[in-house]
């Protein structure tokens, strides 16, 4: 996307929001329950976030459900999370489809069980032609993994003679990144009180506004989401330019 397009694409509401859903374990522990209780309750916050995006007409919502590093968690927690993903995919996909939501799972799916891989394929196929909200579930995803797989695709094209080394630039490289078919990321929210990106959308977050909240994911709701969107709207995005240059460009266009 050219600089002018980037600036003019900015409207008051974000088109693409991503969320690092953190704090499930602490939420459960605060209630004297096992960590997986927090993940199970986190599903309701996912539903509420999807409803909110649908209502606001946000085009893409990307949720960090499982990072490449989450395999290091206790085996029992990992397997409960996998079962939860299968359960959610089986139970929610029809409702998502009815609401015209397109579901995509981004990440290295090869390490998932064949049952989960099949559920993902079925859910993506069922919703593939929907035109409402695109819901991206980042599962076994890592920002560095995404950049590496894009570099491999670019290298392959050079090896195949489709592209020359000189053809590789920010714009042509972008097409190999996950989510390149969707609006650029506008707003990245992290719940749970930490101030990190944790290897999430490293490339895609280049110009995103960041919003951090202490709220733990199972307590995340429409009110907190509204607050994040209101903060986004109140911020002036300059893409490295002066405020005067941006204003002039916007006036020129209107
Ligand atoms: C981080 O909290 C959360 C996760 C690793 C899992 C998120 C999964 C869900 C909300 C379940 C359903 C989601 C979908 C999209 C099917 P944490 O365990 O790191 O919390 P802590 O920081 O308090 O330990």
pLDDT for 214-234, tens place per residue? 999 999 999 999 999 999 988
Any ligand 1 atom below 6 A from CB of 65: yes
Any ligand 1 atom below 6 A from CB of 89: no
pLDDT at 249: 67
Ligand 1: residue of 33, 37, 39, 51 to mutate (most ligand atoms within 8 A of CB) is: 39
pLDDT at 248: 73
Q: Say if residue 95's pLDDT is above 80.
A: yes
Q: Using CA positions, which residue lies closest to atom 15 of ligand 1? A: 65
Any ligand 1 atom below 6 A from CB of 85: yes
Any ligand 1 atom below 6 A from CB of 119: no
Q: Using CA positions, which residue lies closest to atom 10 of ligand 1? A: 42
pLDDT at 169: 97
Tokens of residue 153, six digits: 């695709």
For residue 73, CA distances in Å to 51, 68, 76, 78, 200 come to: 30, 11, 8, 6, 18
Q: What is the pTM of this model?
A: 0.89
Are the beta carbons of 143 and 197 closer than 8 angstroms?
yes
For residue 96, CA distances in Å to 67, 86, 101, 110 come to: 23, 15, 5, 24
At residue 241 the predicted structure's pLDDT band, cuts being 50, 70 and 90, is confident
At residue 4 the predicted structure's pLDDT band, cuts being 50, 70 and 90, is low
pLDDT at 9: 56
pLDDT at 11: 52
Ligand 1: residue of 25, 34, 135 to mutate (most ligand atoms within 8 A of CB) is: 25
Mean pLDDT across the chain, nearest whole number? 92
Q: Rounded to the nearest 5°, which phi and psi values hold at 60?
A: -135, 135
Any ligand 1 atom below 6 A from CB of 14: no
CATH of 3-143+184-253, one of 3.65.10.10, 3.40.718.10, 3.40.50.920, 3.40.1180.10: 3.40.1180.10
pLDDT at 152: 98
Any ligand 1 atom below 6 A from CB of 22: yes
Q: Which residues, listed in sequence order, are joined to residue 103 by a DSSP beta bridge?
A: 135
Give the mean model confidence (pLDDT) for residues 52-60: 95
pLDDT at 52: 96
pLDDT at 184: 96
Least reliable range by pLDDT among 21-35, 74-88, 123-137, 203-217: 74-88
pLDDT at 250: 59
Domain ranges of the chain: 3-143+184-253
pLDDT at 246: 60
pLDDT at 121: 97
Q: In angstroms, what is the span from residue 24 Cα to ligand 1's centroid?
A: 5
For residue 144, CA distances in Å to 14, 22, 248 come to: 25, 20, 37
Give the mean model confidence (pLDDT) for residues 21-30: 97
Q: Using CA positions, which residue lies closest to atom 1 of ligand 1? A: 22
Could you give the percent of the chain with pLDDT greater than 90? 81
Q: Using CA positions, which residue lies closest to atom 20 of ligand 1? A: 23
Active centre residues (catalytic): 22, 70
Task: Give the model confidence (pLDDT) of 116-127 as tens digits.
Answer: 999 999 999 999
pLDDT at 34: 94
For residue 201, CA distances in Å to 97, 144, 189 come to: 26, 9, 12
């Amino acid at each position: 996307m050219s600089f002018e397009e980037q600036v003019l694409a900015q409207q008051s509401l974000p088109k693409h929001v991503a969320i690092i859903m953190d704090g499930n374990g602490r939420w459960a522990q605060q209630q004297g329950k096992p960590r997986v209780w927090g993940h199970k309750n986190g599903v309701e916050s996912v539903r509420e976030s999807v409803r909110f995006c649908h209502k606001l007409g946000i085009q893409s919502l990307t949720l960090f459900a499982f990072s490449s590093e989450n395999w290091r968690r206790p085996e029992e927690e990992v397997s409960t999370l996998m079962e939860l993903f299968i359960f959610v995919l089986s139970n929610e996909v029809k409702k998502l489809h009815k609401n015209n939501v397109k579901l995509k799972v981004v990440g290295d799916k090869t390490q998932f069980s064949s049952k989960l891989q099949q559920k993902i394929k079925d859910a993506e196929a069922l919703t593939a032609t929907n035109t409402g909200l695109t819901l991206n579930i980042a599962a076994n995803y890592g920002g560095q993994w995404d950049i590496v797989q894009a570099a491999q695709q670019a290298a392959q094209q050079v090896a195949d003679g489709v592209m020359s080394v000189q053809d590789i630039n920010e714009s042509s490289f972008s097409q190999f990144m996950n989510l390149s078919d969707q609006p650029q990321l506008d707003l990245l929210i992290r719940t749970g009180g930490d101030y990190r990106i944790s290897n999430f959308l490293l490339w895609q977050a280049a110009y995103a506004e960041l919003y951090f909240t202490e709220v733990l994911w199972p307590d995340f709701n429409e009110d907190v989401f509204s607050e994040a969107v209101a903060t986004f709207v109140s911020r002036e995005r300059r893409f490295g330019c002066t405020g005067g240059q941006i204003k002039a460009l916007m006036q020129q266009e209107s």
